[in-house]
Amino acid sequence: MTMGTPAQSASYGTPTISLSAEYLSGAVGASGDPTVTATVAQSGAEASALTVSATASTKSSVAGTGDVAVTGTGPTRRIAVSARGQGYTDLTLKVTGVNGATATRTLHYAASAAVQQGQDSRYFTGSSDASAAVDVGGGHVVVADDESNVLRLYDRSASGAPVKTWDFSSQLGVTKEVDIEGAARVGDTIYWTASLGNNKDGEYKAARNTLFTTKVSGSGAATVLTYGGAYKKLRDDLIAWDVAAGGRYGFEKGSADGQVPKQIDGFNVEGLEFAPGSTTTAYLGFRAPLAPAVPGGRALLVPITNIDKVVTGAKATFGTPVELDLGGLSIRDIRKNAADQYLIVAGSWAADDNSDPYALYAWDGIAGHAPVKRMDLPTADPGGWEAVVDVPDLTAPGARAQLLTDSGSADLYGDGTAAKDLTHAEWKKARATWFTVTG
């Protein structure tokens, strides 16, 4: 009967749609950009009977309605956006119920510009200032941020938010960032070192004089980090060691009040890795100073010979320093594999993001043996090369290594805003790119 139709129609409620995140980032020409999940429902109706579509875009040159893909048939739908151009747009997502009633939500979308090797790049969101990385197996990596004390676990193969996060500020007894810049793993222990230098204004901040450890259990997405211990006098020990040797590296002067750390004669650590065959001696890699502190100087490694004892309170002891010819560049990261094959990210001691050269070197870890340049790293794209995730077999043809950028100062979306200053974590991101490092 026709009189029954209104009653049946009235039995359906207003459809609803909610988003797992209201902000989303992508990149022009990217592969595997982050997605969001839309959850839909309508009382009296099966979720599979509802339809979801994009109906409007405030800036179609960034992404139009035709660039939005909706997949899934049940209560949850996956929303993916393909970027057309750099910038921002608000996308209207609409759910339509079985009785024609609708509801909408707005997805705030930001797209960064295309980069070189875009298909080999992934974007780790939630943070833009990636500063150190440690592979934990199972296709996952823990990434540090030099603007916070949060460690983030990411799927290396996918763009998107961290799987897990850990903030050890309370255990470290700090309220400001430690300025994590280097990391190295041995067994189930990861050592994390701060820069040990002054801040950008030349001021000493005690939190930056920190070396600490985390214990690793599990692997992959099931990785768990727990706090180990900390040592807060490594900077002091390095300065005293250099002074006792006649001040050959100028650590005391480079770390003095008012001295900016990212100067050719400054004092700033950015790399940490164990010496060949050792679980107790680790190389500290310096961004500054060069040795000597003149254009064309060598990059500096200082071995801590008792790093395992330092985090239990022992004073640090140091071995014979190693000076490496990296073409006038300094160390931004150093990483080795189980076969003691090293990769070194070399960059300028200066504070520039990417206006100065970057290069990737291979080394055998032995003092007196020269590193070999494998490639110049691209510098036209936003962000500075900052970390090596892991080192493949450097004797195998076609071996690939994944490198990370610190994009904190980059203008990702063309509006003059540095990534670190963006108001939404989903729009902050660091880029991870695979490079072929052997012929």
pLDDT digits (tens, 9 = 90+) for 122-171: 999 999 999 999 999 999 999 999 999 999 999 999 999 999 999 999 99
Task: Report which of 82, 129, 72 is spatially closest to residue 109, judged by C-alpha positions.
Answer: 82
Whether 2 shows a pLDDT value over 80: the answer reads no
Whether 15 shows a pLDDT value over 70: the answer reads yes
Over residues 361-384, mean pLDDT: 96
Q: What is the dihedral of CA 390, 219, 163, 194, to 10 degrees?
A: -50
Q: DSSP secondary-structure letter at 222?
A: G
Domain 118-436, classified CATH 2.40.160, yes or no = no
Whether residue 353 contacts residue 382, with contact meaning beta carbons closer than 8 Å, is answered with: yes
**What's the CA gap between 67 and 54, in Å, rounded?**
9
Structure tokens at 60: 């179609």
For residue 253, give the H/E element and its range: helix 251-254
Whether residue 241 contacts residue 318, with contact meaning beta carbons closer than 8 Å, is answered with: yes
| The pLDDT of residue 353 | 58
Over residues 252-265, mean pLDDT: 97
Whether residue 181 contacts residue 169, with contact meaning beta carbons closer than 8 Å, is answered with: no
Spatial neighbors of 206 by CB under 8 A, at least 6 apart, are 232
pLDDT (tens digit per residue) in 115-124: 999 999 999 9
Over residues 182-196, mean pLDDT: 98
Task: Report which of 312, 311, 352, 315 is spatially closest to residue 330, judged by C-alpha positions.
Answer: 352
Over residues 8-22, mean pLDDT: 87
To the question of pTM greater than 0.85 for the whole model, the response is: yes
Handedness of CA 220, 223, 229, 230 (dihedral sign): positive
Q: Is 119 exposed, middle or buried (0-12, 13-18, 19+ CB in 10 A)?
A: exposed
Whether 4 shows a pLDDT value over 60: the answer reads no
Whether residue 332 contacts residue 287, with contact meaning beta carbons closer than 8 Å, is answered with: yes
Whether 7 shows a pLDDT value over 70: the answer reads no
**What's the CA gap between 271 and 287, in Å, rounded?**
8
1 pLDDT band, cuts 50/70/90, is very low
Burial 2-20 (b: 16+ CB within 10 A, else e): eeeeeeeeeebeebebebe
Spatial neighbors of 9 by CB under 8 A, at least 6 apart, are 99
User: Which CATH architecture describes the domain 15-112?
Assistant: Sandwich (2.60)
Q: Which residue is associated with the tokens 């050592």?
A: 191
354 pLDDT band, cuts 50/70/90, is low
| The pLDDT of residue 3 | 42
Burial 232-270 (b: 16+ CB within 10 A, else e): bebbebbbbbbeeeeeebbbebbbeeebbbbbbbbbbbb
10: helix, strand or coil: helix
Q: What is the dihedral of CA 266, 267, 271, 275, to 10 degrees?
A: 110
Q: Which residue is associated with the tokens 């706090």?
A: 227
pLDDT (tens digit per residue) in 213-245: 999 999 999 999 999 999 999 999 999 999 999
Tell me what the pLDDT averaged over the chain comes to: 95
Domain boundary assignment for the chain: 15-112, 118-436
**What's the CA gap between 413 and 415, in Å, rounded?**
6
Percent of the chain clearing pLDDT 70 (strictly above): 97
Cα–Cα distances (Å) from 94 to 43, 102, 107, in that order, read 17, 7, 11
Structure tokens at 250: 């100028």
Cα–Cα distances (Å) from 342 to 309, 372, 377, in that order, read 24, 10, 17
**What's the CA gap between 286 and 232, in Å, rounded?**
18
Q: What angle do CA 221, 223, 226 make, to 5 degrees?
A: 150
